[in-house]
Chains A and B, each alone.
Chain A
Amino acid sequence: MTTTDLPRVDAAPSPEEPTTWTGKIRALWMRELPPEKMLPETQPKYVSSWIYVFGMLTIVSLIVIIVTGIVLTIGGVQWWHTSSFGHYMNSLHFWSVQMFFLFMTVHLWGKFWMSAWRGRRAMTWITGAIAMIMSIATAFTGYLIQTNFNSQWIAFESKDVLNSVGMGALINVTDFGQMVLMHVALLPLCVGVIVVMHVLLVRYRGVVPPAEAIDHAHTVAITEVAS
C-alpha cells in the first residue's frame, strides 16, 4: 500500500453529516418528522371538538379487529362454529368491524366538511380514502370465509360482479383458499401499511386549521379610543 491509498484525514466527514444510507434516512426522518412532531404534547387550540375523536376510535377499532382476528386465525376457519368461545370471538370480530366502519364514516364526513385536504394535505385525504376502500375489500373477503350459508350466498352472487369485468379470472371469490389468504394476510397488510402512511401524514402536515382561522402571527392588538 502506498501513502496515496490511505484515506485523507482532512477528508473525513464531520459527525453531523451521515455517509451511509441508514444515516441519511435517519437524518431525513429527524428533520421532517422529529419526535416532538411525531408525538406532540400539544395541539392547536382549535382541535377541541368530538369529531376529532373518531379518527382515534377508528384506529382502536382496527386494533380490536386485528387482535380478535389473530385469535380466530389461531383457532382455524371452522373453529368458531363448534366452540362457544370461538363464536364469541367471532362476535367480537363482527361488531368491531361494524364499529370500525361506523367510526370511519363519521371521521370521513367530518374531514370532508372541514375540507381537510387544504394546505398540501391532499395526500392525507387520498391515503384515508384508499384505506377505506381497502378496508371494504378486507371486510368483504371476511364475509366470504365464514364457512356458513352467508359466505356461500355472497360468494355466489359476487362472482358475477367480478366476472363481468374480467377480474374473476384473477380473483376467484368461490376459491375459499384464495379468499382466506387474502383476508388474513394480503389485505390486512395493505390496510396496515396505508393506515400507517395516513397517520404519519397527519403528524407530518398537522391538523388542518379552521377554514376561517385568523392569522395569529400577523394579528396585532389595537386599542380603540372612544371619541
Chain B
Amino acid sequence: MMSLRHAPTQDLDSRPWDGPTRHYDIFKEGAIALVIVTVLVAALAAIFSSPDDKQLTFKSWAQSSPDSMYTTMVAELAGTSDTYNYGPPYNNNSEGLSVGPIAMQKWMGVTHPINASQDFVIKPLESQTMSADVKAAVDQWNAATPEQQTQWASNYDTALNDAAGANGDPAKVPTGDYGPTSVLAQAVVDMAKTGAYDGAIMQGQFFSTDQTKQMLLMGDGSYMDDIATTDNLQGNTWGMVNEAGSWPGQMWLAPFSFWYQLPAFNNTDPNNTFAQTLTDNADAIIFAIMMVVVLIFVFVPFIPGLRSVPKWIPVSRLVWKDYYREYGRR
C-alpha cells in the first residue's frame, strides 16, 4: 500500500507552484465569458429595458403644484428655506455639519455662493420683460433695506404657513405689512408656468453645465421630495440603493445606506440630545464611519483576527474539494 508523506511546508504560499498543473487557455475562457455575458446582458436589456423617469422642470412644478412653488419662493425671500440656511459651500448662514470638533464643511468655506432671494427670485425676474406691477414690486424690494426685506417676507411667510389661518393658501392670507412679497412670488410662478424660469435661473449663461442653483431650489419645495417619497427613494427607506420603478438600484451602496436606517440617525425624541446630535450630523458621521469601513476592507490582509476568519471558518475547502480529495490536506 502506498501513501504520501509530507515534509514541513516551506513558504508554499509565496514560492512558484511546483505541484501538478492543468491545461489553461485564458483567451478561450475570456472569449466564452464575453459571449455569455454579452448574451445575458442583451437579454436582460431587451426584456427589462432600463429606468428613465422624465426630468422635472420648473415649468412642470409650477403647472402641477403652483402653491408649492409659491410657498417656496416666499421662503426664499424670507430666509426660511433649506438653501438659505444651508451653510457652506453655499453661504455662511449656518456652520454646517461636523464630526465632533472636526467641522470640514465649515473649514472648506463658501465655494459655490448662492443668495437665495436674489438668485431664485429677483435676478430671474429682472432678466425678463416685466409687467408694470412686477417691475414696481422688484423696484420696491431693491430699494428697501435688507432688514425691511426680511421683515416683509417673514411676516408674509408666517401668515401664509399659519396652520390656524391661511395654512398655505395664498388667498386666505390676511392683510398685513408684507411689502411686495406676494407679487414677487406670484410673478416667479407665472413665469415658471410658461417655461421661461427654466432658462432665467441660468442667468444669461450660454454654456451652463452647473445645475447647483436649480437643484437646490428644486429641493427646497415639496414637489421633487413628494415624488421621491412615492418612489421609496428617501434615505431612511434605503433610497440610496433603490431605483425609481422596479429596477435594481445601486445595491453596492447598501453598506452605506445601512447606517441611515438605524434609529440613532433617525431620532425623533427632542429630549435625547445625543441621538439628536447624531441625527443632525448623520451625513458627516456616517461618511466618517464608511471611511473606517473602507480602510478595513482595503487592509484586510493586515488586520489580526479579521484576516484569520477564513481559517476559522474553512469555507475554502468547498473551493478546493477536488484537490483535497486527490492529494489530501496537510
**What is the CB-to-nearest-CB distance from B294 to chain A, in angstroms, rounded to a whole number?**
6
- Interface centre among B3, B13, B40, B309, by most chain A C-beta atoms within 10 angstroms, is B13
Q: Which secondary structure dominates where chain A touches chain B?
A: helix
A143: chain B residues at CB < 8 Å are: 250
Question: Is the beta-carbon distance between A169 and B9 smaller than 8 angstroms?
Answer: no
B316: chain A residues at CB < 8 Å are: 113-115, 210-211
- Interface centre among B8, B26, B109, B322, by most chain A C-beta atoms within 10 angstroms, is B26
Question: Is the beta-carbon distance between A215 and B53 smaller than 8 angstroms?
Answer: no
B246 contacts A by Cβ under 8 Å: no
Question: Is the beta-carbon distance between B209 and A177 smaller than 8 angstroms?
Answer: yes
Question: With the chains together, A88 CA to B44 CA distance in Å?
Answer: 10
With contacts A115-B307, A148-B54, A216-B20 taken as known, whether A157 is within 8 angstroms of B235 at the C-beta atoms is yes
Please tell me the number of chain A residues within 8 Å of chain B, measured between CB atoms: 104
Q: Which A135-179 residues sit within 8 Å CB-CB of chain B?
A: 136, 139-140, 143, 146-153, 155-157, 159-161, 163-170, 172, 174-178
Q: Per-position contact with A for B33-59: 1 when CB-CB < 8 Å, else 0?
A: 110111011101110111111111000
Find the B residue at minimum CB distance from A114: B316
Question: With the chains together, A80 CA to B310 CA distance in Å?
Answer: 45
Our pick among A93, A117, A121, A136 for the contact of B307 (Cβ within 8 Å) is A117
Find the A residue at minimum CB distance from B288: A165
Q: Which B210-232 residues sit within 8 Å CB-CB of chain A?
A: 210-212, 214-216, 218-219, 224, 227-228
Q: Which A188-227 residues sit within 8 Å CB-CB of chain B?
A: 206-224, 226
A5-13, A14-22, A24-32, A51-59 - interface stretch: A51-59
With contacts A43-B22, A208-B13 taken as known, whether A175 is within 8 angstroms of B212 at the C-beta atoms is yes
Question: Is the beta-carbon distance between A152 and B55 smaller than 8 angstroms?
Answer: yes
A46: chain B residues at CB < 8 Å are: 320, 322-323
Question: Is the beta-carbon distance between B54 and A165 smaller than 8 angstroms?
Answer: no
Q: Which B268-316 residues sit within 8 Å CB-CB of chain A?
A: 281, 283-284, 286-288, 294, 297-302, 307, 309-311, 313-316
Question: Is the beta-carbon distance between B89 and A164 smaller than 8 angstroms?
Answer: no
Binding site for A on B (CB under 8 A): 1-27, 29-30, 33-34, 36-38, 40-42, 44-46, 48-56, 86, 88-89, 96-97, 99, 104-105, 107-109, 111-112, 209-212, 214-216, 218-219, 224, 227-228, 233, 235, 239-240, 243-244, 247-248, 250-253, 281, 283-284, 286-288, 294, 297-302, 307, 309-311, 313-320, 322-324, 326-330
A49 contacts B by Cβ under 8 Å: yes
Binding site for B on A (CB under 8 A): 39-49, 51, 53, 56-57, 59-61, 63-64, 80-81, 87-88, 90-96, 98-99, 101, 105, 110, 112-115, 117-122, 125-126, 129-130, 133, 136, 139-140, 143, 146-153, 155-157, 159-161, 163-170, 172, 174-178, 180, 206-224, 226
Taking A156-B218, A218-B8 as given, write out 13 further A-B residue pairs in contact, using a Cβ cutoff of 8 Å, ordered by the A residue number: A45-B326, A49-B322, A60-B34, A88-B49, A115-B307, A115-B310, A133-B297, A140-B250, A150-B244, A163-B283, A215-B330, A217-B19, A222-B4
Q: Could you list 24 examples of A-B contacts with CB < 8 Å?
A: A44-B17, A57-B37, A90-B52, A93-B50, A99-B40, A101-B251, A105-B252, A117-B301, A129-B297, A136-B252, A139-B252, A152-B224, A164-B104, A166-B107, A168-B105, A178-B209, A210-B324, A213-B320, A213-B329, A215-B10, A218-B9, A219-B7, A222-B4, A224-B2
Question: With the chains together, A46 CA to B298 CA distance in Å?
Answer: 26
**What is the CB-to-nearest-CB distance from B27 to chain A, in angstroms, rounded to a whole number?**
8
Find the A residue at minimum CB distance from B16: A206
Across the A-B interface, the 4 shortest Cβ-Cβ residue pairs: A177-B209, A119-B13, A166-B104, A218-B7
B2: chain A residues at CB < 8 Å are: 221-224
**What is the CB-to-nearest-CB distance from A53 to chain B, in angstroms, rounded to a whole number?**
7
Question: With the chains together, A220 CA to B45 CA distance in Å?
Answer: 56
- Interface centre among A126, A129, A146, A152, by most chain B C-beta atoms within 10 angstroms, is A152
B26: chain A residues at CB < 8 Å are: 39-40, 56
With contacts A165-B284, A214-B6 taken as known, whether A146 is within 8 angstroms of B209 at the C-beta atoms is no
Question: Is the beta-carbon distance between A122 and B302 smaller than 8 angstroms?
Answer: yes
Question: With the chains together, A153 CA to B105 CA distance in Å?
Answer: 21
Question: With the chains together, A223 CA to B1 CA distance in Å?
Answer: 6
**What is the CB-to-nearest-CB distance from B211 to chain A, in angstroms, rounded to a whole number?**
5
Question: Is the beta-carbon distance between B209 and A42 smaller than 8 angstroms?
Answer: no
Question: Is the beta-carbon distance between A168 and B89 smaller than 8 angstroms?
Answer: yes
Question: Is the beta-carbon distance between B21 and A43 smaller than 8 angstroms?
Answer: yes
Question: With the chains together, A217 CA to B19 CA distance in Å?
Answer: 7
B29: chain A residues at CB < 8 Å are: 53, 56
Question: Is the beta-carbon distance between B320 and A210 smaller than 8 angstroms?
Answer: yes
